[in-house]
Structure 1
Amino acid sequence: MNKSESKYFNTALRMDEALITLLEQKDLEYITVKELCQQAGVNRSTFYLHYETIADLVNETLERINQRFLSYFPKQEEEVLGNMDSRKREELVLVTREYLLPYLRFIRDNKKIYRAAFRNPGGMQAYARYGELKQHILGPILERFAIPTVHRPYYIAYYVEGIIAIIKEWLRQDCADDVKMIADIIETCVRPKEKQ
């Protein structure tokens, strides 16, 4: 990376962080370019050198978050989804410790991003991000269990919103509780264990 690429990259990172910081304080539609520049310590001309609009910055920030998020997971998506049709029904569980722990670690390590996303779900596309999950994982699992198509949106809403509610509460506690404890709670809610 040459000096100008490095400078460009550092400015972009500062702009991403400025956006996230401001999103914790106010809704996206009330954030101005002037505020973003002040927060990032750059001139307006620098902002417009990188982005045409605030929406461009939001898209770039979300892309960086996605890249960071995927780096937390040990297996590739194909390994999880590849044999969905051939798996036994009892194995069709989305929330496994193998994937839940990295997800929770990412949230803990990126609390600021998640607080901003939940405060501004539209601007940060928080709910749209679950589209892939719904389409590629939850949908096929519900199909395998012969859940009627008209019922599936309700099952999915219950499942996703329940996990989000636990995450929001954990964030309110500043992620003070251990990741493994939160994973246990989510697993128990999703798949209650029988008492022996």
Structure 2
Amino acid sequence: MNKKLDRRKKYTRMVLKDSLISLLQTKQLATITVKEICKSADINRTTFYTHYKDPFDLLEKIEEEIIADLNTYLNQYNIEQEEESLQMTERLLAYIASKYNICQTLLNENGDHSFEQRVMDVARTFLINNWTDNNEMGTDVSEYAGTFLIGGSIYVIKQWLANNMDQSPEQIARLINSAKIR
């Protein structure tokens, strides 16, 4: 009986997330109502409120799930080794491709930039914590270089998503990894 409830709970959360993402493709978050989400998901409002406080809470949970996944991928590799760095980037891009609809919606030009900022913060923290000490720049310059690399990488990914992933994750990973600060 417990597994059945867990599956129902997972299904309900999945359709609510899908409904919100679908609505975000045409509307700003502030204009989306619980009623619209529920209608799209074919779920009643009481069920919505069992899982989330409001559309902002639902979006935050979607973003948190993606951020947690990104952290997991980032922490599996040693970026000081070029081959591992490339593998990490490829896996991140494959993950983004598997979540195309969500990532494209959250990173598009009409979206709230808080998700993009959260992604930048995660990547910047990871990069600074793992930055090789053998670079000739000081710590302050390394921080700027990291911001430059991360910002450029995010915009490459946004362009890739906007172009319906017209290149393979491997090709984009090679492009991103080829941009190194010397």
- Same fold, TM-score > 0.5, yes or no: yes
Matched, 1:77 2:75: yes
Alignment of 1:54-93 (within 5 A): 54-66=55-67, 69=70, 73=73, 77=75, 80=78, 91=80
Q: Give CA deviations for 1:59-81 in whole Å, capped at 9, x if unaligned.
A: 3222333455567x4xx726638
Aligned partner of 1:37 in structure 2 is 38
Identity of aligned residues (%): 23
Structure 1: runs of 5+ lacking an equivalent: 82-90
Partners of 1:94 and 1:130 lie apart in 2 by 23
Aligned partner of 1:122 in structure 2 is 113
Partners of 2:15 and 2:22 lie apart in 1 by 10
User: How far did residue 142 of structure 1 move?
Assistant: 6.4
**Contact 2:29–2:56 (Cα < 8 Å) also in 1:** no
Partners of 1:162 and 1:28 lie apart in 2 by 26
Structure 2: runs of 5+ lacking an equivalent: none
- Higher Cα Rg: structure 1 or 2? 1
- Residue identity opposite 1:171 in structure 2: L
TM-score of the two chains, using structure 2 as the length reference: 0.80
Cα 1:94–1:136 shift into 2, 3 Å = farther
- Residue identity opposite 1:80 in structure 2: N
CA root-mean-square deviation: 2.9
User: How far did residue 11 of structure 1 move?
Assistant: 0.5
**Contact 2:128–2:146 (Cα < 8 Å) also in 1:** yes
Matched, 1:186 2:176: yes
Cα 1:142–1:69 shift into 2, 3 Å = closer
Partners of 2:19 and 2:71 lie apart in 1 by 22
Cα 1:180–1:191 shift into 2, 3 Å = farther
- Residue identity opposite 2:176 in structure 1: I
**Contact 2:124–2:147 (Cα < 8 Å) also in 1:** no
Aligned partner of 1:85 in structure 2 is none
- Bigger drift between 173-182 and 152-161 goes to 152-161
Aligned partner of 1:15 in structure 2 is 16
Higher relative contact order, structure no. (Cα contacts within 8 Å, ≥ 6 residues apart): 1
Partners of 2:31 and 2:84 lie apart in 1 by 37
User: How far did residue 161 of structure 1 move?
Assistant: 1.3
- Residue identity opposite 2:174 in structure 1: D
Aligned partner of 2:148 in structure 1 is 158
Q: Per the alignment, in what secondary structure is the counterpart of residue 42 of structure 1? A: coil
**Contact 1:24–1:112 (Cα < 8 Å) also in 2:** no
- Residue identity opposite 2:78 in structure 1: V
How many residues are matched? 179
Aligned with residue 101 of structure 1, among 62, 71, 90: 90
TM-score of the two chains, using structure 1 as the length reference: 0.75
